[in-house]
Structure 1
C-alpha cells in the first residue's frame, strides 16, 4: 500500500487521496460541475445511498455535504483507494459502511487490473491501450498541450493484477436489511451492467434512482437503459462534451411515479 496523503479542496474540505491530479479532476466533475445532480436526481434527509465504485469517496463526500442525514454503503475493491475512502468517512463524520469489495452479477472472487497512478480506471475489463487513448483525448480537449499530455501520461498506465472479493447488490441488501436505496451511484469501469444484473427481481422496487457511468461497448448502453426501463424508470442519457464520440456516457434514472 502506498503512503496516503491529504489535500485541501477548493471548498475548504481536506481529503485523503491517492493521486492529487486525479482528485482535482474528481472535484471538478463532482463538486464544481455537480455531474450527478442532473435530470431530476434528488436527495432527501434519511435516504440511503449506495456508492458502487466509491474510489476515495469523493461522491460520498459530495452527497454528504449536499444533504444532511443520508446513510451510505460505499464499495471499493482496490486497497489504496479503499484506505482513503475509510479515512475520509471517518474524518468527515459520514454515516457510512465502507466495504472492500466489488459488486457484480455473482459472488466470489475475481482478478481486477489496478492502475496505481490512475486508480479510477481500474477494473475487471481493462484495456491499457484504449484507456490511454481515451485519457489523451480527454486531456487534450481539456486544454493541455500535446507535449504536456505525454508527460502526464508517462507511466500512468502501468498495471498490477489483484484478486478482490465480489458480491451482488441483492446479497448486500439481504445481509444488511436494506429496505430502500434512494440513490444507486455506479462507476465501475465497464462492469456497470453486471452491477445491475446483481439485483434480484424482488429487490428492483427498492431502488428509487440510479446514476451511472456507462461504457458503450458491444451494446452495453442499450442493454443498461433497457434494464432500467423494464424496471420502471424514466431514463436520460448524457455525454460530457470533452468525451464526445467516445464510449463513455452518463445515465440518469428516476423511478416513474405510481
Structure 2
C-alpha cells in the first residue's frame, strides 16, 4: 500500500492502515507531552502490529535501534517486511510481552488486526469501533462494512515473555521509549519489568484501557518508579475507556 507521504508498506487491511497513518504520522500521537528521541536511542515497540509506529519513529529520528514485538502471525509478517523494506535497525520478535512467560491464546480479528488481544470482548469492541469510525467522518455504509466482520475471530497460540527477560537476554542497557499498545494488557507489560530494570526506562507512551481501575493502577506504577505522567483522550474517543498515557522520568 502506498501511504500519503509516498512510502510503500506491507499491510493487512487498507482502511486500518489509513487510520494508523492518520493517528501516527498526521496527528503524531507518539510525540506529545515532551516525548523526545535522539540518535542512538533504543525503542521498544510492544504491540507493533505491522510496524507503523516503528516506521514513523525511524523517520522522525535516524539512528534508533528498535525491538518490536507482535504475536499475531499475519501482522508480524508485514512487520518483518516493513523493517527490511525501510532499513529499520533492530529486532522483530513474534511474541507478546506480559507479567509471565510461557504461552497464551490470542483472539485475532482479521478485519481489525490492531484490536486483537488476550482480553477480547467482541461486542464491546464492535461498539467502540463504530463510535470511533462514525466520529471520524465515515458514512454509515462504510462504517457497517468495517464493523461487519468484527465478530469474525480466530484464536492463535503465541509465546509470552516478560520485559525483564528480554532485557537480560539482549543486554539492553537503556530503553529511551517504551511504546505499548496491547489492547487491555498494558498493565501486565509494566508488571513484567523487575524493580532493578525500571531505572533503564526513560519514557513510556501507552494506550490504556480504563477497565476496573486499570488507568489508576497503571499511572500509580509509573509514579512509583519516578515518572511524571500526562493523560490525554482523543476527541474521537471521548466518553470511552481508552486513554493515552505519556510518561517521562523526572530529571531525565
Question: Structure 2 length as normaliser, TM-score?
Answer: 0.99
Which residue matches 2:251? 257
The 2-side partners of 1:101 and 1:208 are apart by 23
Is structure 2 residue 131 aligned with structure 1 residue 137? yes
User: In structure 1, which of residues 196, 211, 216 is the aligned counterpart of residue 210 of structure 2?
Assistant: 216
Which residue matches 1:198? 192
Is structure 2 residue 102 aligned with structure 1 residue 108? yes
- 1:18 Cα deviation from its structure 2 partner: 0.6
Displacement over 4 Å in runs of 4+:
none
Which residue matches 2:112? 118
The 2-side partners of 1:55 and 1:151 are apart by 22
Which residue matches 2:29? 35
Is structure 2 residue 4 aligned with structure 1 residue 13? no
Structure 2: where are the runs of 5+ without partners? none
Structure 1: where are the runs of 5+ without partners? 1-6
- 1:207-246 equivalences under 5 Å are 207-246=201-240
Deviation string, structure 1 residues 132-174 (Cα, Å, up to 9, x no partner): 0000000111112234322321123310011000000000000
Which residue matches 2:89? 95
Q: Is the 8 A contact 2:122 2:150 kept in 1?
A: no
**After alignment, is 8-17 or 139-148 more displaced?**
139-148
SS at match of 1:165: strand
Q: Is the 8 A contact 1:55 1:76 kept in 2?
A: yes
- Aligned-residue RMSD, C-alpha: 0.8
Q: Is the 8 A contact 2:229 2:245 kept in 1?
A: yes
- 1:50 Cα deviation from its structure 2 partner: 0.1
Q: Is the 8 A contact 1:118 1:157 kept in 2?
A: no
- 1:96 Cα deviation from its structure 2 partner: 1.6
Which residue matches 1:156? 150
Q: Is the 8 A contact 1:107 1:166 kept in 2?
A: yes
SS at match of 1:15: coil
The 2-side partners of 1:38 and 1:235 are apart by 12
The 2-side partners of 1:245 and 1:209 are apart by 27
The 2-side partners of 1:235 and 1:41 are apart by 11
User: In structure 2, which of residues 152, 156, 178 is the aligned counterpart of residue 184 of structure 1?
Assistant: 178
Count how many residue pairs are aligned between Structure 1 and Structure 2.
252
Question: Structure 1 length as normaliser, TM-score?
Answer: 0.96
Deviation string, structure 1 residues 178-232 (Cα, Å, up to 9, x no partner): 0000000000000000000000000000000000000000000000000000000
